[in-house]
Amino acid sequence: MASVTAAAEPLVKLSNGESITQDDFSVYLERRVDLRASGRNIWGVQTTLREMALVRALMLEGAAIGVPRDEGRGELRFDDVYAQAVYTKLAPACKPPADEAESRKYFEEHPRAFRVPAMARLSRIILPASEVVEGEPATAWLLKEVQAVATGKSTFEEVAKQAEGIYKLDPQGDLGWITLFEEDASVLRVLATAKEGEMVGPLREGDFAYLFKVNEKREAQQLTWEAAAVSVPTRAVTFCRQEASRKIREDLFKKYGVELDGAAIRALFAKQSAAK
């Protein structure tokens, strides 16, 4: 079990001096049953911590602009209900086009709303970049294994099984179908350009080295007017809400100086996993 000191170490910091700790995270998951599965891997923990940080930023913004809180909820530091009320105040009204002419104009002016992203069934190997495997750095070892798979001396599944014995904090091997958003500033953007059957990597992102295999792929496509016409009202509202959510998050994280400590999150997760 992590020590009391570790439990109080900040996983997320805000520029006003606030932080989000392991204790905060645990208490939040006790209330948010829908998010408990997120604690099973590092990416899930990071996603939940971003949500917690957004709740805090929305609460700070709500206080700044005078949004009142319900009586009896003042003790909640992560008040999802209040945060949603503040978000509703900040978010623009998203209305569908009024008629076919407006729909056609929206279609022509917002091509991103009518682009269906690529999807791929991926297998992945992930290792800490600092790991030494068979006397070699993780990236060099993965490169050697790429050559072994390419020449038929090994299979991707065999390499993933070996990697699982080294690093267990994230799943190795088959990840299922993943949406590959081209605007995603991550390894997923690289994978969006890969072909079915290809291996991609080793890639280095942050403190990890990755190797992917694209087992199956459905390429991205831009919908034609004929294919999109009926769905324009729904897509317009959905796209508006997505863009609003992204901008509000970016603006508030910048305003309140939200920073996730990736190293602290990985260290915490490693301690928790070791204690199980």
| Cα–Cα distance measured from residue 58 to residue 181, given in angstroms and rounded to the nearest whole number | 26
Q: What pLDDT is recorded for position 5? A: 41
Contact (Cβ atoms closer than 8 angstroms) between residue 87 and residue 58: yes
Q: What pLDDT is recorded for position 263? A: 81
Model confidence at 266: pLDDT above 90: no
Q: Are residues 22 and 88 in the same domain?
A: yes
Q: What pLDDT is recorded for position 276? A: 43
Query: Is residue 233 in a domain?
Result: no
Q: Are residues 183 and 252 in the same domain?
A: no
When divided into structural domains, the chain yields a total of 2
Query: Is residue 237 in a domain?
Result: no
Query: Is residue 226 in a domain?
Result: no
Q: Are residues 176 and 251 in the same domain?
A: no
Query: Is residue 269 in a domain?
Result: yes
Query: Is residue 232 in a domain?
Result: no
pLDDT tens, 20-75? 998 999 899 888 888 877 766 677 788 899 999 999 999 999 999 999 988 877 78
Q: Tell the burial category of 4 from Cβ atoms under 10 Å away from its Cβ (0-12, 13-18, 19+).
A: exposed
**Residue recorded with tokens 């508006």:** 240
- Identity of the amino acid at 39: G
Q: Are residues 211 and 251 in the same domain?
A: no
Q: Are residues 142 and 193 in the same domain?
A: yes
Query: Is residue 107 in a domain?
Result: no
**Residue recorded with tokens 């994978």:** 191
Domain span at residue 29 reads 4-94+246-275
CATH classification at residue 208: 3.10.50.40
Q: Are residues 90 and 122 in the same domain?
A: no
Model confidence at 1: pLDDT above 60: no
Query: Is residue 112 in a domain?
Result: no
Query: Is residue 35 in a domain?
Result: yes
Q: Which pairs from 18-26 meet CB under 8 Å and 24+ separation?
A: 18/56, 20/49, 20/52, 20/53, 20/56, 22/268, 24/52, 24/77, 24/78, 25/49, 25/52
Q: Are residues 164 and 89 in the same domain?
A: no
Q: How confident is the model at residue 7 (pLDDT cuts 50, 70, 90)?
A: low
Percent of the chain at pLDDT exceeding 70 = 90
